[in-house]
Amino acid sequence: MFDQLYQTLRTRVLNRLLSPGTRLPSSRKLAQQLNVARNTVIAAYEQLIAEGYLESKSGSGTFVTEELPEAWFQAEAQSHSPPKPIQNIALSNYAEAIRDENVRKNGSNQGFTVGVPDLKGFPARLWNKVSSSIPHAGLTELMGFQYPQGLPELQEVITDYVRSSRAVRCESDQVVITQGAQQALDLCARLLLNPGDPAAMENPGYTGARRALHATGAHVTALPVDEHGVMVSALEQLDPPPKLVYVTPAHHYPLGSVMSLQRRTRLLNWAATHNSWILEDDYDSEYHYQNRPLASLQGLCKNSRVIYIGSFSKVLFPALRLGYTILPKELTNVFTQAKMEHSGETPVHIQATTAAFIQQGYFSKHLKRMRVLYAEKLECMLKACEKLTPWCKIHTHGAGMHLVIEFTAELCEKSVYNQLVKQKVYCSKLSRYYLEEPVKSGLVLGFANSSEEEIRTKVEQIASTIKLAART
Ligand SMILES: Cc1ncc(COP(=O)(O)O)c(C=O)c1O
């Protein structure tokens, strides 16, 4: 009884149901009201007085303490047992679609985690030097809200870069800086699709794009992919025609094929006929080790129906959260407005550092080094993966930072994957990239952040795991 009374009074004080200064009934009266022993009330009052929730004023009675410091309320939050779990939370369709995905955990850059560049190979000291060389006067100017579309210096260097390396046709006022390519995908989807609208994307395809499209409530059709990229013939049969199609023509994600020129022209003709938008995600076109990548779709397109999306996540580092979109002039304003509503400006000091890093020649030097390094790592991967060929087909097109091994033998993808996670071999399941029932199963292995020695060891672990799984 003591406990119950003590907790009730304490909670009432903490929740301010009994406000500071309130006079409590005498112990005799409360005992009568509650039909409990007077000693119980006295004990509860004394405990609360000792803890400072109540105070006794001689001759006038017991009162709620006038000034309960904030820290007491915090202490309450810490000392109490955890709140009861909330049952039956009604989530949106968007939340339902993502709730079971594993959020990346600390340390998940290791192993064959997909999408992580060689972090140790990044010239962090140079980056810091460039960052601290931004002049003070300039720094103050960078603190306000004045570059919603992006820092002009960065827009300029990106324009030069995509024109020369990707044959993108643009002026710098068509460049909008975003929080990674992901924000660009998300905003394009929101701006161009309404619930129920038809959209389409490669299948398998990038999960981030899938989520961005689904989040709008669009009806997303899965387009098959072969060694020439997305199969435009499947697109041509769709009625109604999708309003927007997402593709990764330079290096299909995740299987790796490069979209042929014939497919590119066919896709652009289809888009022109139907007034549809193409989202060209050029996430890692910098890493082609045998041939130069084909020019961008955007550069081939004559009627501005292609929106080009680029990212610094692979060529610098992912935590930078810096990407860019090259939009037709008619869309830049509304896109910038949406970006401001979504996240406000992209941190301007980061933009200034990136622009200076590129202007001072460090970016191209870093890229050249990484291209050589990743080509060597890919070679090492391919050699190591030779031992997997009895059970797997290796998908590689001499590009990128990851490799797909498709299971050709009867293997349970989930159990192989779980076994590998136990051994700290982090990678992705191929099936997770499918919009519908997966057609292939296997593993996606990001190799850029592993040393050659790690590559050999981890592939050895994969081989043993697969061998065992194939036997059982
Ligand atoms: C195909 C593809 N597109 C876009 C992105 C998103 O890049 P960002 O980190 O710039 O948001 C990724 C990230 O891994 C990706 O793999």
Quote the ligand 1 centre to 283 CA distance (angstroms).
6
- Say which CATH number the domain at 258 has: 3.40.640.10
Nearest one of 160, 159, 210, 202 to 182, comparing CA atoms:
210
List CB contacts of 395: < 8 A, sequence separation 6 or more: 255, 256, 403, 404, 405, 406
What CA–CA distance (Å, rounded) separates 160 from 167?
10
Q: What six digits make up the tokens of 109?
A: 């850059």
Cβ of 114 closer than 6 Å to ligand 1, yes or no, is no
Residues 356 and 402 in one domain: no
Choose the residue to mutate in 283, 285, 309 for probing ligand 1, maximizing ligand atoms within 8 Å of C-beta.
Answer: 283
Cβ of 178 closer than 6 Å to ligand 1, yes or no, is no
**Angle subtended at Cα 252 by Cα 396 and Cα 448, rounded to the nearest 5 degrees:** 55
What CA–CA distance (Å, rounded) separates 426 from 443?
10
Please name the residue ranges forming H helices in 343-451: 348-359, 362-385, 413-422
Residue for token digits 């140079």? 126
| Count of Cβ atoms closer than 10 Å to residue 435 Cβ | 19
- Say which CATH number the domain at 65 has: 1.10.10.10
Residues 57 and 142 in one domain: no
CA separation, residue 308 to residues 244, 277, 299, 327, 364 (Å): 13, 11, 9, 7, 21
pLDDT digits (tens, 9 = 90+) for 284-331: 999 999 888 889 999 998 888 999 999 999 999 999 999 999 999 999
Ligand 1 atom with minimal separation from the 248 CA = 1
DSSP state of 193: -
Choose the residue to mutate in 313, 314, 354 for probing ligand 1, maximizing ligand atoms within 8 Å of C-beta.
Answer: 313
What CA–CA distance (Å, rounded) separates 354 from 322?
9
Residues 311 and 376 in one domain: no
Residues 140 and 37 in one domain: no
DSSP state of 450: S
* E runs forming strands in 219-276: 219-226, 229-230, 244-247
Quote the ligand 1 centre to 190 CA distance (angstroms).
18
Domain that holds residue 417: 368-471
What CA–CA distance (Å, rounded) separates 281 from 209?
9
Cβ of 310 closer than 6 Å to ligand 1, yes or no, is no
pLDDT per residue of the chain (472 residues) written in tens, 0 to 9: 889 999 999 888 888 788 888 999 999 999 999 999 999 999 999 999 988 899 998 888 999 988 775 555 555 545 557 788 888 889 888 888 888 776 666 556 778 999 999 999 999 999 999 999 987 666 677 777 789 999 999 999 999 999 999 999 999 999 999 999 999 999 999 999 999 999 999 999 999 999 999 999 999 999 999 999 999 999 999 999 999 999 999 999 999 999 999 999 999 999 999 999 999 999 999 999 988 888 999 999 888 899 999 999 999 999 999 999 999 999 999 999 999 999 999 999 999 999 999 999 999 999 999 999 999 999 999 999 999 999 999 998 899 999 999 999 999 999 999 999 999 999 999 999 999 999 999 999 999 999 999 999 999 999 999 999 997 7
Cβ of 179 closer than 6 Å to ligand 1, yes or no, is no
Residue for token digits 């990764």? 248
**Angle subtended at Cα 411 by Cα 408 and Cα 415, rounded to the nearest 5 degrees:** 140
Q: Residue 42: phi, psi to the nearest 5? A: -60, -45
Choose the residue to mutate in 186, 279, 311, 315 for probing ligand 1, maximizing ligand atoms within 8 Å of C-beta.
Answer: 311
Residues 218 and 323 in one domain: yes
Residue 342, domain member (yes or no): yes
Q: Which of 295, 329, 363 is the last residue of a domain?
A: 363
* E runs forming strands in 296-361: 306-311, 323-326
pLDDT digits (tens, 9 = 90+) for 136-165: 666 677 777 789 999 999 999 999 999 999
328 within 8 A of 192, measured Cβ to Cβ: no
Q: Whose CA is nearest to atom 3 of ligand 1?
A: 283
List CB contacts of 284: < 8 A, sequence separation 6 or more: 250, 251, 314, 399, 400, 401
Q: Which of 316, 340, 363 is the last residue of a domain?
A: 363
Number of separate domains in the chain: 3
Cβ of 115 closer than 6 Å to ligand 1, yes or no, is yes
Total H helices, total E strands in the chain: 18, 14
Residues 322 and 445 in one domain: no
